[in-house]
Structure 1
Amino acid sequence: MNYLAHIFLSGADKKVQLGNFFADAVKGSSYKNYPPAITNGILLHRAIDDFTDNHPAVKAMIQQMRPHFGRYSAVLLDIYFDYLLASRFDTFSDIPLKRFARSFYFTLIRHRRWLPDRFKRFMWHFILTNRLYKYASREGIKEALEIMVRVHRITVSPSEAIEYLQEHEMELWDVFHPFFTELQEFVSRFATTDKSN
């Protein structure tokens, strides 16, 4: 899953959202260096990734995309899933996406001291370009992909990726909707488990 989904699945606790947002930058057991709520967000992120990576429908979709995008298929599917969540946000939330995004941007500013350095470096660009809200449009997704190509040197054509999304959007939605419902149920169960070990 990509940024929007991870934040959304964190629930209302702002520090859980924060930890879930930057968890990829926290390696091994160094999550223990953070306050409990941020730690819970990091562990939730890892659990979400594990659930997603091992879900049969997700694995099948990645295999279907592989002839087109090779080793970047899983990365693109994460981004497609954020687009599907953002563009149909009212299916999953009573809060409008614009308000949800603004609330999280305020969380980033308020708790900036906890962000890993690489997240501090791109935080203002993330906020000022309204990245979470832009996930709701194909043009916004294309912009995100262009940034990835430029910064991370991934060898994917943003235009071809958007063309694939346009042609397969309903098929992707038919995978995403039931999968995301299952994922929400998994997150609810995870939230009630003891994570102290």
Structure 2
Amino acid sequence: MNYLAHAYLSFNDPHITVGQMIADFVKGKQVFTYPDTIQQGIRMHRALDEFTDKHPATRRAKAIFQPSCGPYGGVFMDVVYDHYLANDATHFTLPALQEFVASVYGVLEDNHHLLPPFFQQVFKYMRTENWLYRYHERDGIFRSFSGIVRRAKYFEHPADVPFGVFEHHYLTLGDCYREFFPDALAFMKNQE
């Protein structure tokens, strides 16, 4: 799962949200420098990542990306899941998505002093370019894919390649999301 899903599956708890959002930027024993509730968010993020990777629907979705994207398929798939969540009418209308995204940005701003330095830079771009809201747009997904491609050390294709996979398999990937997300929601409710 990517940023939007991690924020959403924090169930509006500000400290859990911070922990979930920064988890990939907190290494080793650094986790113990954070308050207990943020540590819980970090653990929840990691548990969700593990659950996501093992889920049969995710494995099928990654297999769609694998021929052209290799091991990066999972990274692209995480972003794709955020697209389907942002467009899932059982969780968001566009005004509700906009309101939710604004609240997440507010929580991160209020806790800016706790954010790891590199995530502070990421957050600046996330907020300025409104990543979380733009996941609902296909152009937002293309931009996210472009960012992944720019940062990837061993991915040698333009963003058009994974985006073409996303476009070509749009309905099938949506089916994978719809199979996966209710299970992820139930799993995360048990992590609270």
Shorter-chain TM-score bucket reads: over 0.9
Report the CA distance between 1:183 and its aligned residue: 0.7
In the other structure, the counterpart of 1:150 is 150
Report the CA distance between 1:37 and its aligned residue: 1.4
Structure 1 residues 155 and 86: CA distance shift in structure 2, 3 A: farther
Report the CA distance between 1:160 and its aligned residue: 2.3
Q: Which amino acid aligns with 1:91?
A: T
- Partner SS, residue 78 of structure 1: helix
- Contact 1:134-1:140 at 8 Å conserved across structures: yes
* Distance across 1 between alignment mates of 2:43 and 2:29: 10
In the other structure, the counterpart of 1:183 is 184
* Distance across 1 between alignment mates of 2:17 and 2:156: 30
Q: Which amino acid aligns with 1:103?
A: S
Identify which of structures 1 and 2 has the higher relative contact order when contacts are C-alpha pairs closer than 8 Å and 6+ apart: 2
Report the CA distance between 1:157 and its aligned residue: 2.3
Cα offsets for 1:34-56 (capped at 9, x unmatched): 11211110000011011111112
Report the CA distance between 1:174 and its aligned residue: 0.9
Query: Identity of paired residues, percent?
Result: 33
Q: Which amino acid aligns with 2:35?
A: P
* Distance across 2 between alignment mates of 1:129 and 1:187: 28
- Contact 1:6-1:20 at 8 Å conserved across structures: yes
Which stretch shows the higher mean deviation, 13-22 or 28-37? 28-37
In the other structure, the counterpart of 1:194 is none
What runs of 5+ residues in structure 1 fail to find an aligned partner? 192-197
What runs of 5+ residues in structure 2 fail to find an aligned partner? none
- Contact 1:72-1:156 at 8 Å conserved across structures: no
Cα offsets for 1:98-130 (capped at 9, x unmatched): 111111111111100110110112222211111
In the other structure, the counterpart of 2:175 is 174
* Distance across 2 between alignment mates of 1:159 and 1:124: 26
Structure 1 segment 18-167 matched on structure 2, within 5 A: 18-88=18-88, 90-93=89-92, 96-153=96-153, 154-167=155-168
In the other structure, the counterpart of 1:16 is 16
Which stretch shows the higher mean deviation, 27-36 or 99-108? 27-36
- Partner SS, residue 39 of structure 1: helix
Q: Which amino acid aligns with 1:168?
A: H
- Partner SS, residue 160 of structure 1: helix
Structural RMSD (CA): 1.6
Query: How many residue pairs are counted as aligned between the two chains?
Result: 190
